[in-house]
Chains A and B, each alone.
Chain A
Amino acid sequence: MRIAVLSGKGGTGKTLVSINLAAATETSAYIDCDVEEPNGYLFFKPRNIQEEEVSVRIPKVNDKLCSGCRKCVDFCKFNALAYIKDKLIIFEDICHSCGGCILLCPEQALTEKEKVIGKVQKGISDQVTVYTGVLNTGEPSGVPIIKKLLAEAKLEITKTTLIDCPPGSACTVMESIKDADYCILVAEPTLFGVHNLNIVYELVKLFNKPFGVVLNKCLDGEDLSEKFCLEKGIRILGRIPFDQELGRLNSNAEIAVRKSEKYRRIFSSLLETVEKEAHHEAASDS
């Protein structure tokens, strides 16, 4: 089962929830899809790391063959090509690697070349296989890295897989949740928190994914995200208290489940709820 953990902004508790759920499972895979700033590995400290580069294909031009017809320039929806002073200019950072320009070129002046944009790592931390995607600084899109990560982790199909998504609802998040069986939305109790929750709520509805909410940083008094869930009829999967002990463990890059019996219980029970929900959804779908 693949569980994606997402939220409308950073710092809400995606990594906290996903690493602890992964650590509470007997055998699991954790995939850090927040490739612009992966941090799950800081908690898991995985060993036996295997690494593989990820590259995309971008066009290169042979100026001698280019006739200046501009078919490629007109075709590119991302405007990654310009034709200036009888010379084709290619903007590698703008290119989305669709390959259309290469197919269209009547002179075969364009060919593909590989460009490394980052890497994926795989390692072991106790019973958890840890996958980490790293996008090189300055690269515009992490989608190819996330695709590679999820393809690699497909081999772990028998394990419970936790997908730690990037924040927000952009292409990288859509790619991360595409094949998920269930989505956990992590929310903060503030008005700002509700706004961010709404962003991912809209997204999972659009993707038709079964989902529930984990309320994080819960204090006594009104929780606006809870109110939002009750109004919309959204399933609340669990609550994580705004607790110094948890804050201390987390800021020391410890996994709460591995250090505290109290948190082992909280996350084991959350995991049980999520699994039940996901199976229920799967059953009612078929």
Chain B
Amino acid sequence: MKIAIPVDEKSLESKVCVSFGRAPYFLIYDTETKERVFLNNSAAASTGGAGIKAAQIIVDNKVSILLTPRCGENAANVLKSADVKIYKTGSVYAKENITDLINGKLSLLDEIHPGFHGHGGN
């Protein structure tokens, strides 16, 4: 099973990025192989719809669970269509969130914000 987290830096010690759609990188962790990959988020510089594109990247990488502090409506719809589960991060550090998820300490993200369309983006 693959887990994705938006991160500020390409390091396992990185903090979780406060934004999903505009995070610079995604850390992808495979629970079976213990493999870690850092993906560049090509959606980060989008003029609009960053969340949709970022969600597409997550889905294309066959991720089953996304850990994020927050997520917009459109991105959540894309992820839902692909049956990706969204959990809310607890700790500010990426690594701790993976451990917490595996130990069942994280809960599903239930607050989906309506997004910031038209405000500064376009």
> A: which residues have CB within 8 A of B?
73, 76-85, 87, 89, 91, 93-94, 96, 140-141, 171
Q: Is the CB of B48 within 8 A of A78?
A: yes
- B53 contacts the other chain (CB 8 A): yes
Closest to A139 in B: B118
Known: A78-B122, A94-B52, A140-B118. A84 touches B47 (CB 8 A): no
User: Which one, B5-13, B33-41, B73-81, B93-101, is touching chain A?
Assistant: B73-81
In the assembled complex, the CB of B22 is this many whole angstroms from the nearest CB of chain A, namely 12
A79: B residues at CB distance < 8 A? 43, 46, 48-50, 52-53, 56
| 10 chain-A/chain-B pairs, Cβ below 8 angstroms | A77-B46, A78-B122, A79-B48, A79-B52, A82-B59, A84-B82, A91-B49, A91-B52, A141-B118, A141-B122
Q: Is the CB of B49 within 8 A of A84?
A: no
Q: Is the CB of A91 within 8 A of B74?
A: yes
In the assembled complex, the CB of A65 is this many whole angstroms from the nearest CB of chain B, namely 20
- Bound-state CA distance A79–B117 (Å) is 12
B74: A residues at CB distance < 8 A? 91, 94
Q: Is the CB of A84 within 8 A of B52?
A: no
> B: which residues have CB within 8 A of A?
43, 46-50, 52-53, 55-56, 59, 74, 77-78, 81-82, 117-118, 122
Closest to B46 in A: A79
A84 in complex: contacting residue of B43, B46, B59, B122, CB < 8 Å: B59
Q: Is the CB of A77 within 8 A of B81?
A: no
Closest to A81 in B: B52
Closest to A87 in B: B81
In the assembled complex, the CB of A90 is this many whole angstroms from the nearest CB of chain B, namely 10
A73: B residues at CB distance < 8 A? 56
- Bound-state CA distance A93–B122 (Å) is 12
- Bound-state CA distance A43–B78 (Å) is 45
Q: Is the CB of B48 within 8 A of A89?
A: no
